[in-house]
Amino acid sequence: MTTLKKSLGLRAALLSLLIFAAIVGLWQIAAQPPAASGPAVDPEYAKLVGAAAATGAKSAMPTPADIGVTIWKHLMDPFYVKGTNDKGIGIQLAYSLGRVLLGFGLAALFAVPLGFLIGMSPLVYRALDPFIQILKPVSPLAWMPLALYTIKDSAISSIFVIFICSVWPMLINTAFGVASVRREWLNVARTLEVGPFRTAFKVILPAAAPTIMTGMRISIGIAWLVIVAAEMLVGGTGIGYFVWNEWNNLSIANIVTAILLIGVVGLLLDQGLARLTKLVTYPE
Amino acid sequence: MFKDPFDPKTLLKPRCSCGGDHAPADHARLSAVPASDEQRFSRVVDAAVLRAVFPVDAQRRQFLKTVGATTAMAAISSVFPLATAREAFAQGGAPEKKDLKVGFIPITCATPIIMAHPMGFYSKQGLNVEVVKTAGWAVIRDKSLAKEYDAAHMLTPMPLAISLGIGSNPVPWTMPAVENINGQAITLAIKHKDKRNPKDWKGFRFAVPFDYSMHNYLLRYYVAEHGLDPDKDISIRSVPPAEMVANLRADNIDGYLGPDPFNQRAVFDGVGFIHVLTKELWDGHPCCAFTVSKEFATQNPNAYRALLKAIIEATAYASKQENRKEIARAIAPTNYLNQPETVLEQILTGTYADGLGAVKKDPNRIDFDPFPWNQFAIWIMTQMKRWGQLKGDVDYAKVAADVYLATDTANMMKEMGLTPPDPSKKTIVIMGKAFDPAKPNEYVESFAIKRS
Amino acid sequence: MDRPLQRPLISVEGLARRFGDSNQPAVFENIWFGIDRGEFVCLIGHSGCGKTTILNVLAGLDQPSDGAVIVDNREIDGPSLDRAVIFQGHALLPWLSVMGNIAFAVSSRWPSWDRAKVQDHARKFIELVGLKGAEAKKPSQLSGGMKQRVGIARALSIQPKMLLMDEPFSALDALTRGMLQDEVLRICADTNQTVFMITHDVDEAILLADKIVLMTNGPGAKIAEIVVNTMPRNERHRNDLHRHPQYYAIRNHLVEFLVNRSKAFDQEIADGSYDPRRLKLVKPGLAAVNPPAEVVPLRHTL
């Protein structure tokens, strides 16, 4: 059984490697600069344009090798500061992470208690439901102009956008988790004459914790998606700004580097919360 | 306002000409808001020194009469570092705020704003300016309105739009200096290299950087002059400059009238060619501007002056051909434009590849001239009116004078030893058609293709 | 007025419950009975007659539409640590260990106790139900019988004045059920616990109960009569219960009630002899040992 499992894992890893190699190989071949086919151009002209344009072609995609070099370059010096608009990729990631964690943390502080209230009171649930239903599907970035206009601070605005996009899954999941705590567990607390606060913390919270954590996991995923877009819009700092700045320069290699790093950080955030979810999950 | 203390006929003691109950020499010390002209500062300094040397007015007059003003100054300079004092005083309208944030869009139009940072024009004025790259025109407008930026790079029509409340709440905005003139181009996709006559452009999809931009108005003007209605025969959409090349490459658009470096960048990447420079439509048209809110200018007059001075100096420096290569090198890094140096050099020097295999030379492809001609503002408003952005009647001359601060710029230029042009003498000819700023309504009416 | 001067420990007086508005027929009404200290009382009836509702009212988890429950001469107005409930589905908190579940109850009973004292106390009851060594296990790691033992330990650990059990063994297999029944019998004997239990298992009732309250079918369910289990506690053993001379008499009486009388009770009392406040105490077991002439012979239908 275990050997079978092990060999399955091994085979899956091998297959992953194979797929990776195939993608990289195909990419490398596809991204080869075309052989000079266009008309020979004036060498003076050739000096003024990119290598591809000099041969009458469009500039090519960078090869995986180019990207490897770019990633290596960034990883070797991730924390440099060469002015307001040019900071190392590590610093940019730190800015983005800081914004996400701040916005997400504030959202959790807001959504979990409110979700508790909504979950425990059918009255509050009904009263707030129309607001939640209307606000929930609004794209977080649609809040950006409103935030900029009212808050008048782009840094706080992007944190607000993170807040507003991560609040809903947590709010809804907390309310749902709290509302669906098994009646008999609440009855246990009642027959033991447990006070409302102790019931909330000792019975309802642990009972709803897996659902709440699932909401948090959804939220942080959305927050990480949104921060990149928000920073592309607002600029200044952060990995989203980095992507935008390199897009300005049409530097695909840098953009791919950023995409990979965004993916890795997103994965780590998700796995971190998955771990936490596992800690509070109970089998019945 | 201040009398020359070296004029023997002047009585120094009695009262300050500002009307305050203090001696003129004490004026600078006592008034929180000093007067605006630098020469006045030197006189204040001179007067103070002179008064210290000759406390009695009669003696001073006697002394000046005997030796003459020049000698008097020289004599005093020998014992007192007058020049240093003047300079200290000039800056001693010390900026109310030294740490300033100036927003810019990474295009060559912003060259003076950007280069002033690495080349030290700001620090020379005692300012610690942070130039902040910004993602788009709407964002730079919102961040400016939110006071996150103290001053910002905008398109010349934007301060007019903001002041008029088009596209945002009306906020008094001022434009003390134009950044660049010329420097834009119509870039077309390589596949259209044989469609050089705009009459063949029916159905083309064009991009401009912003609705309220010279780019939009020039493109509309250009196609309209060739008989195409820009709202019906072609489509024009607003696309951030950086995305223009990517969109052209992806065949989402057929061309754009955009700011550099993105015209030259399309050539560099083999994606497009330069169909026509905007210079060929209107030689000397304004494009981008240095703008501040009226509130910032009135609340921080010294910081505002210092900033404006830095910008005008940088603009003057940039207008000299021989400096252009150095500037290209200074603004190419990631921190600023984040572009290949050769692209910037081609734009700034005007020796460039056109995208069709030819090397062209036009030293005035982009030029830098800070003077905010009110006629520019009036022309822009006629186009806002022509294309239906501006509804109702507008006092063209008044709005132009309120927003385009030609007087401030002229004063500053004089102070810096530059010769400001005569604000009334500006002839505007666009594609062979003259514009009379005195008759804006008639001008709008004269077009066959228009919305209003 | 008519009430006895000396009330039993628990006195159920005129209980009724209807769902919805007052025009709806009551699930049960006019329920009167009492439980004395140390007594083990079982309530038998068909599903839907409101057995669980009566237990919930006794526990304070549900409100009656009419009537009251008097415990120790005081009307109850909510749940109390004096009345511990053993739930049908054990209702353990799945995120807590065996020890955690019991300690939660103990520290609710005695909030001032420190951790060590709470755990010591809890451990005694874990041992009482034979779960020594399983303290750290989570409910999901326990079998159904073990879970119910934890439920019993939790209820006993708060040393209540009475235990309320809602079909505690119905979800268990026969073997486990038997073992737990023995266990409950032993523990109740040891602690002289007052117990009110709902069941629909006739044998379970005969094995455990001192009195068996018979409830008719709803709606408008009533208590038909109270059967006194005349088999002394020390003669009730699960393995040879069926050999006891009174066993079949009692069993048949109960089965007869469940199969026939519970449906047709209203016709039976058409003569107006029924008084819900003075229920008949019947002793079918004694009739079997020395049949008195006046007792109607039982119909053995099963």
User: How many angstroms separate the first and last alpha carbons of chain A?
Assistant: 26
Q: A178-182, A203-207, B61-65, B120-124: lowest mean pLDDT where?
A: B61-65
**Chain C: touching chains (3 or more CB pairs < 8 Å):** A
> Chain A within 8 Å of B20 (Cβ-Cβ)?
no
> Chain A within 8 Å of B217 (Cβ-Cβ)?
no
Which residues between 74 and 103 in chain C have a beta carbon less than 8 angstroms from any beta carbon of chain A?
78-81, 83-85, 87, 89, 91, 93-96
Tell me: pLDDT of C297 over 50. Answer: no
Taking residues C142-157, report their average pLDDT. Answer: 90
> What is the pLDDT, as a whole number, of residue B69?
62
Residue that finishes a domain, picked among B91, B114, B147? B91
User: For the segment B179-195, what is each residue's pLDDT rounded down to a tens digit?
Assistant: 888 889 999 998 898 88
Taking residues A254-259, report their average pLDDT. Answer: 90
Residue that finishes a domain, picked among B230, B259, B280? B280
CA distance B171 to B294: 8
Nearest to A191 among C61, C138, C140 (CB): C61
pLDDT band at B55 (very low <50, low <70, confident <90, very high): low
Q: Where are the beta strands (DSSP E) in chain C?
A: 10-17, 28-35, 40-44, 66-71, 74-75, 83-86, 162-166, 194-199, 211-215, 223-228, 281-282
Same domain, B173 and B221: no
Q: Chain A partners of C163 at a C-beta cutoff of 8 Å?
A: none
Residue B12 in any domain: the answer is no
Q: Chain C partners of A194 at a C-beta cutoff of 8 Å?
A: 108
User: For the segment B130-143, what is each residue's pLDDT rounded down to a tens digit?
Assistant: 888 888 888 888 88
User: What's the total number of domains in chain B?
Assistant: 3
Tell me: pLDDT of B14 over 60. Answer: no
> What is the pLDDT, as a whole number, of residue B84?
47
Same domain, B412 and B266: no
> What is the pLDDT, as a whole number, of residue A206?
93
Same domain, B313 and B343: yes
Tell me: pLDDT of A35 over 80. Answer: no
> What is the pLDDT, as a whole number, of residue B210?
86
Instruction: Give CA separation, C74 vs A191, A253, C30, C158, C233, in Å.
Output: 17, 81, 19, 20, 30
Same domain, B325 and B441: yes
Tell me: pLDDT of B5 over 50. Answer: no
Same domain, B315 and B436: yes
Q: Would you call B268 and A59 a contact, using CB atoms and an 8 Å cutoff? A: yes
- The interface predicted TM-score of the complex, written ipTM, equals 0.84
CA distance B269 to B118: 27
Query: Mean of the per-residue pLDDT values for chain A?
Result: 86
pLDDT band at A135 (very low <50, low <70, confident <90, very high): confident
> What is the pLDDT, as a whole number, of residue B119?
87
Residue B359 in any domain: the answer is no
Q: Chain A partners of C138 at a C-beta cutoff of 8 Å?
A: 282-283
Tell me: pLDDT of C169 over 60. Answer: yes
Tell me: pLDDT of C289 over 80. Answer: no
Going by their DSSP bridges, the two strands B255-259 and B205-208 should be labelled as parallel
pLDDT band at A15 (very low <50, low <70, confident <90, very high): very high
User: For the segment C15-25, what is each residue's pLDDT rounded down to a tens digit?
Assistant: 888 887 777 78
Which position has the token pair 């000792």?
A: A202
Backbone angles phi, psi at C203, to 5 degrees: -65, -40
Distance in Å, alpha carbon of C91 to nearest chain A alpha carbon: 6
Residue B19 in any domain: the answer is no
User: For the segment B283-306, what is each residue's pLDDT rounded down to a tens digit?
Assistant: 888 888 888 888 888 888 888 888
For chain C, percent of residues with pLDDT exceeding 70: 93
> What is the pLDDT, as a whole number, of residue C178?
86
> What is the pLDDT, as a whole number, of residue A236?
76
Q: Name the residue in chain A with its Cα closest to that of B340.
A: A249
Nearest residue to B405 via CA among B186, B183, B238, B178: B178
Q: Find residue B404's DSSP bridge partners.
A: B175
Q: Chain B partners of A60 at a C-beta cutoff of 8 Å?
A: none
Instruction: Give CA separation, B413 vs B316, B385, B408, in Å.
Output: 10, 32, 9
CA distance C223 to B320: 110
Instruction: Give CA separation, B340 vs B333, B334, B345, in Å.
Output: 8, 10, 9
CA distance B370 to B286: 9
Same domain, B115 and B162: yes
Q: Find residue C40's DSSP bridge partners.
A: C195
Same domain, B216 and B320: no
> What is the pLDDT, as a whole number, of residue C288?
66
Same domain, B301 and B263: no
> What is the pLDDT, as a whole number, of residue A14?
92
pLDDT band at B393 (very low <50, low <70, confident <90, very high): confident
pLDDT band at B398 (very low <50, low <70, confident <90, very high): confident
SS3 of residue A140 by DSSP: helix
Report for B12-26, B86-100, C217-231: range of highest mean pLDDT: C217-231
Fold classification of A91-280 is MetI-like fold (1.10.3720)
Q: Record the tokens describing residue B121, joined without a space.
A: 């024009």
pLDDT band at B13 (very low <50, low <70, confident <90, very high): very low
> What is the pLDDT, as a whole number, of residue B313?
85
> Chain A within 8 Å of B335 (Cβ-Cβ)?
yes
Q: Chain A partners of B271 at a C-beta cutoff of 8 Å?
A: 58-59
Tell me: pLDDT of A239 over 60. Answer: yes
Residue B128 in any domain: the answer is yes
Q: Would you call A188 and C139 a contact, using CB atoms and an 8 Å cutoff? A: no
> Chain A within 8 Å of C44 (Cβ-Cβ)?
no
> What is the pLDDT, as a whole number, of residue C117?
94
Nearest residue to B273 via CA among B282, B265, B284, B283: B265
Residue that finishes a domain, picked among B265, B280, B295? B280
> What is the pLDDT, as a whole number, of residue A36?
53
Same domain, B302 and B317: yes
> What is the pLDDT, as a whole number, of residue B377?
87
Same domain, B80 and B164: no
pLDDT band at A214 (very low <50, low <70, confident <90, very high): very high
Q: Chain A partners of C59 at a C-beta cutoff of 8 Å?
A: 187, 191
pLDDT band at B163 (very low <50, low <70, confident <90, very high): confident
Q: A188-192, B213-217, B406-410: lowest mean pLDDT where?
A: B406-410
B contact test, residue of A143, A250, A254 with most B CBs within 10 A: A250
Q: Would you call A188 and C60 a contact, using CB atoms and an 8 Å cutoff? A: no
> What is the pLDDT, as a whole number, of residue A208?
93
Nearest to A232 among B135, B148, B340 (CB): B135
> What is the pLDDT, as a whole number, of residue C105?
94
Taking residues A253-276, report their average pLDDT. Answer: 91
Q: A40-44, A186-190, B181-185, B238-242: lowest mean pLDDT where?
A: A40-44
More confident residue, B452 or B147: B147
Q: A24-33, A199-208, B254-263, B427-436: lowest mean pLDDT where?
A: A24-33
Q: B3-17, B224-238, C35-49: lowest mean pLDDT where?
A: B3-17
Q: Would you call C93 and A192 a contact, using CB atoms and an 8 Å cutoff? A: no
> What is the pLDDT, as a whole number, of residue A31?
76
Taking residues B69-88, report their average pLDDT. Answer: 54
Q: Find residue B237's DSSP bridge partners.
A: B207
Q: Would you call B142 and A148 a contact, using CB atoms and an 8 Å cutoff? A: yes
Give the residue numbers spanning the domain of B412: 99-180+286-354+367-445
Residue B235 in any domain: the answer is yes
Same domain, B158 and B45: no
pLDDT band at C301 (very low <50, low <70, confident <90, very high): very low
Query: Which CATH number is B298's domain given?
Result: 3.40.190.10
More confident residue, B270 or A145: B270
Same domain, B195 and B276: yes
Q: Chain A partners of B335 at a C-beta cutoff of 8 Å?
A: 82-86
pLDDT band at B169 (very low <50, low <70, confident <90, very high): confident
Tell me: pLDDT of A60 over 80. Answer: no
Q: Are A101 and A166 in contact (CB under 8 A)?
A: no
